[in-house]
Structure 1
Amino acid sequence: MSQEEESGTVRRGRPRSEAVEQAILAGAIRLLEEGVPLAEVSIERIARTAGVGKATIYRRWAGKEELFVDVLRSVEPPGPELPGTSTRDDLIALLEALRRRGLAKRSSAFLHNVFAQMQSYPKLWAAYRATVIEPRRRLTLDVLRRGVETGEIRSDTDVELLTDLFVGPLLLRTVIRPDATLDEDLPIRIVDAVLAGARPPAAG
């Protein structure tokens, strides 16, 4: 057995091609943008649209749901770069990214339709939550825990609940009240309002 085999670094099968993967994702997006329902977007149809064989897709994804998760991830904006100057600044950056995602979902018929249909696919929704939503929630929790460590947030604070208080207003306006405004200063207003109740009392 070679050193590479012992270390587990040997790549089996054909090497992955970034260009081929992008073509497959673009093919799936094209079908969805054309209004094809999720239920009718088959691997065969995606392969035909992308100009590849079905086997090429199955070498990269186990099935349609796994492929759809990567499709949704590919249209998500990148995570925000946190300034790291304070808990407040990091939270504002996180909520600004969430506000922009809300605006994108309002303005994009494609995103609106896909997310509306996705609720009918529990496995797809669960995979999307695990790979996209939960990592962003953990990032917010990390920021809040650092805030507790630095004394910017009270040590007895329930950071899980605090996370919900920060993101809740934006999710409410994006999902339940799509007619509500998502003003530019909304992240600042939310962060300052919630932090007002979470900061340690001033020494006096």
Structure 2
Amino acid sequence: MTQQNDGPRAAPADDCPGGARRGRPRSEAAEQAIFDAAIGLLEAGTPLTELSIEKIARTAGVGKATIYRRWPGKEELFVDLLRSVEPPDPELPGVSVRDDLVALMESIRRRGLAKRNSALLHNVFSQMQAYPKLWDAYHQTVIEPRRRLGLDVVRRGIELGEIRDDLDLELVNDLFTGPLLLRTVIRPGATLEPDLAERVVDAVMEGLRPRS
């Protein structure tokens, strides 16, 4: 009877690009190599529409199967790539509705600053309008969950009596996010002062207090 070898099997070569450092998970090393390859191609001037899985895999030194095990397509890969270079989503303090709103608005301000200071983010977002599939994937995966989180905080403010209950929930949420989006998207040269989130939230909350 042939003895079964229960020892650890060597990882496939395409899962360990560039000779991953000892102690570093192979999957993490492969993912970083894929991100680095995509970033390098973008920085070299490759348009998003021409950035294929095959080209990314070849540049990263991995097989296409390694990429497809992590992402069903390049749109999902790009969304995760953007999330890896954007500031992380905030953890809400949960102390008060006002503090949670400030944390959410501050995250919009920080993302606006990141897009101004990162040539990669500026490049990708400027191309996304011409790449509807990527924009839709980013919207559904990133923007929509953030919007729902804001709606949840506003809803809690209404339930606690801190915000008027005679206005549409979506409108109230837009009143908070609107000024930040105006300065980060529509007016990219506008100032984004460190205290902007607090000033916006306090000004809007003043007008949204329940009427006597």
Matches within 5 A, 1:16-55: 17-55=27-65
Shift in Å, 1:41: 1.5
1:135 aligned to 130, 145, 153, which one? 145
How many Å separate the matches in 2 of 1:188 and 1:178? 20
Determine if the alignment matches structure 1 residue 110 to structure 2 residue 117.
no
Q: Over residues 75-133 of structure 1, what are the superposed CA-to-partner deviations in whole Å (9 max), with x where a residue is unaligned?
A: 22211121112111111111111101000101111101100101111111011000000
Query: Could you tell which deviates more after superposition, 135-144 or 55-64?
Result: 55-64
Residue of 63, 70, 76 corresponding to 1:60: 70
Q: Greater CA deviation, 184-193 or 55-64?
A: 55-64
Q: Contact (CA 8 Å) 1:157, 1:198: kept in 2 or not?
A: no
Cα deviation per residue 1:114-154 (whole Å; 9 max; x = unaligned)? 00101111111011000000111111111111111111112
Would the aligned equivalents of 2:48 and 2:124 in 1 still touch at CA under 8 Å?
yes
Work out whether residues 69 and 127 of structure 1, in 8 Å CA contact, stay in contact via their aligned partners in 2: yes
The AA in structure 2 aligned to 1:111 is L
| Runs of 4+ residues deviating >3 angstroms | none
1:63, distance to aligned residue in structure 2 (A):
2.3
Partner amino acid for 1:19? A
Matching of residues 1-204 of structure 1 within 5 Å: 17-202=27-212
Alpha-carbon displacement from aligned partner over 1:47-84 (angstroms, at most 9, x marks no partner): 12211012222233222222212212222221112111
Query: Hey, what's the Cα distance between the residues in 2 that align with 1:102 and 1:54?
Result: 33
Using structure 2 for the length normalisation, give the TM-score.
0.83
Q: Which runs of 5+ in 1 are unaligned?
A: 1-13
Q: Distance between the aligned counterparts of 2:181 and 2:44, measured in 1?
A: 27
- Measure the CA separation in 2 of the matches of 1:30 and 1:148: 47
Identical pairs, percent: 74
**Worse overlay, 56-65 or 175-184:** 56-65
Query: 1:185, 1:138 → 2: CA distance?
Result: 24
**Distance (Å, rounded) in 2 between the aligned partners of 1:191 and 1:61:** 38
Say which is worse superposed, 101-110 or 17-26, in terms of deviation: 17-26
Q: Kindly tell me the number of residue pairs found equivalent between the two proteins.
A: 188
How far apart in 1 are the matches of 2:78 and 2:42? 10
**Unmatched 5+ stretches in structure 2:** 1-14, 16-25
Partners of 1:75 and 1:181 in 2: CA distance: 22
RMSD between aligned alpha carbons?
1.7
Cα distance in structure 2, aligned partners of 1:73 and 1:167: 20
